[in-house]
Amino acid sequence: MFGRILILVGLAVLAWSVMAHSSQAHGAKQVVTVKPYDTLWSIASRHYGGDVRDAIWRIERANHLQSADVSVGQKIVLP
């Protein structure tokens, strides 16, 4: 009896793992091109809600930036 339950649970887990797929909850990363007069602050405030400082930190980290300095034409990945 216990063996049959164990087999059924195993088959259910196997079926679930085959049918499960990524939900892409984070979505695709967006890339923006820095325009004249753009700063990380202005980019973060346009694309994120909440604390802009946190958004800047996430952008810096995602792009391996050493500072908040950006150049016109630079491509920035928004996490």
Domain range list for the chain: 35-79
Residue 67 φ/ψ, nearest 5 degrees: -150, 180
- Amino acid letter, 36: P
Q: Judge whether residue 32 has pLDDT over 90.
A: yes
pLDDT in tens, 38-66: 999 999 999 998 999 999 999 999 999 99
Task: Give the Å distances, CA to CA, from 5 to 10, 12, 14, 15.
Answer: 8, 10, 14, 15
Q: Which tokens sit at 34?
A: 């820095």
Mean pLDDT of the chain: 84
Distance CA 20, CA 46 (A): 35
Question: Higher-confidence residue: 21 or 2?
Answer: 2
Give this prediction's pTM. Answer: 0.63
The pLDDT, as a whole number, for residue 25 is 55
The pLDDT, as a whole number, for residue 20 is 60
